[in-house]
Chains A and B, each alone.
Chain A
Amino acid sequence: MDDNDILTEIHRDQMYNLLQRKEREDGRAFDEYRKISIETGVFERAEGSAMVKIGDSMVAVGVKMQPGEPFPDTPDVGVIITNAELIPLASPTFEAGPPGEDAVELARVVDRGVRESGAIDLKKLCLVEGEKVWLIFIDIHILDHGGNLIDASALGAIAALLTTTIPNRRYGIAEEDEPLPVKDMPVSVTMIEFEGNLLVDPDYLEESVASAQLTVISNSDGSLSGIQKLGSGPMRVELVEEAVKLGIEKGKEIREEHLLPLMKTA
């Protein structure tokens, strides 16, 4: 813990010095993402899957579907269940055991994006009202923690969903399998605040020195479906507004470059 604190302190100084010259350690602009790569259909046993890399971060997402009971208060819509595991292979700071608060928050933020954007047409996933609907399990496995796990996970989730096939035949529901009806492509954009500046897509070290982080989830029409501030550092109101605006802009770029091509091949 102490070692980490000292390293963080040194790093903070270095970042501060770079900041005076409007630079980041890896040479990126403040609003620039690291290299993003998305590979879909990587796990054959899953109904949909994706492997996402943002810089050094690597996240595997698998979607499984099976018929099950709907929630009593929503008897005619499918169910989304999102889970994230920060498994110890991904970082020396992750420990085995039940999901901690970071994993729970990560899963819930990703879930919120998928759910509130209305990306999945859940009404179409009702089989017998009140009795049987499709359950969609989105499972997120963090494989390498290089920072900004939320964006990588959210991108993995929507990429996996875009390429998901409903396993009708396996469960005797219909003769043919069919693609999952996906209507929107929510994109999550995370920024840290550092000395009054916004840095998009923080890497591991940037994240460790940041006291506040803001995640903005936006949809194809530029509307918002989720916002979450992480970390205890306070942020000025104007900076929060600026961050939300920037989040919508960067979200659009990522959607067009990385998700639209998937939609066409799906």
Chain B
Amino acid sequence: MIEGSVLGMVDGVHTFFKDGLRLDGRKKDELRPIKIKAGVLKRADGSCYLEHGGNKIMAAVYGPREVHPRHLQHPTRAIVRYRYNMASFSVDERKRPGPDRRSVEISKISREAMESVVLKEQFPKTVVDVFIEVLQSDAGTRAAGINAAAVAMADAGIPMKGLVTACAAGKIGGEVVLDLCKEEDNYGEADMPIAIVPRTGEITMIQMDGHMTFDEFREGLELALKGCRQIYELQREALIERYKSGVEGEE
């Protein structure tokens, strides 16, 4: 799935395009291939396996369930916890297991991206635990994690105002493009992941790092919003597929 080096070099400068296409053959506004499957784990209340380009993500949702430790419980609503974790073998150079600063930040912003859609008041004193395991990473793991989490939450039957869908736009070789792959992310100029609630069109997460002008920011936002709408359809299809295929040996 992950190509070797798809980047070209001209005079020591990376080139990102060939014949108007990106080096993995995509157009500027084209997503990488995405596969989503809901309900893949037996123990979890809800689950999802998602591939997005070379990203392979497993999501599990437990709850609403009793909160441990107790002092975290909220008297009038459920709390949401989100753990983004990268497997040590998910990257080229082995990652030391356990949370690092990057994953702490990603867990926080991902939780915040999901929290507002959950009808938390229906389940006081409980927790909805979301666990994301990145098994193979290829840029855009936080967005892929959120997309998987939303499907897994719906699969768990958590009452929500809508799904959450995430997608990134970025800037490579001076051009604003949709959905950076690993090489584009490593050598590109900017990356901007966003998450939206497609039903309301509102943004629940946005981050940007790199270098962009205001006009490029607007162009990127536009592209990412379009990307989200495409991914939303795939999330819906995965859920419809899950319940069409019936219940196999589960409660």
Contacts and interface: CB of A to CB of B under 8 A. Distances in A.
A17 B208 CA distance: 34
A236 B203 contact: yes
B201 interface: yes
Interface of A: 1-2, 101-102, 104-105, 107-108, 112, 116-118, 211, 214, 219, 222-237, 240-241, 244-245, 248
B205 interface: yes
Contacts of B101: 104, 107-108
Given A101-B108, A234-B116, 14 more contacts: A224-B211, A224-B212, A225-B210, A226-B207, A227-B208, A229-B112, A229-B207, A232-B113, A232-B204, A234-B197, A234-B202, A234-B204, A237-B202, A240-B221
Interface residues of B, number: 36
B225 A116 contact: no
Interface of B: 74-75, 101-102, 104-105, 107-109, 111-116, 192, 197, 200-214, 217-218, 221, 225
Given A101-B105, A101-B107, A226-B208, A232 B202 contact: no
| Chain A CB within 10 Å, residue with most, of B109, B206, B209 | B209
Contacts of B211: 116-118, 219, 223-225
A33 to B, nearest CB: 21
Contacts of B206: 214, 227-229, 240
A28 to B, nearest CB: 25
B203 A237 contact: yes
A231 B112 contact: yes
Contacts of A222: 213-214
Given A107-B101, A235-B203, A240-B203, A224 B221 contact: no
A248 B105 contact: no
Contacts of A235: 202-204
A236 B201 contact: yes
B111 A232 contact: yes
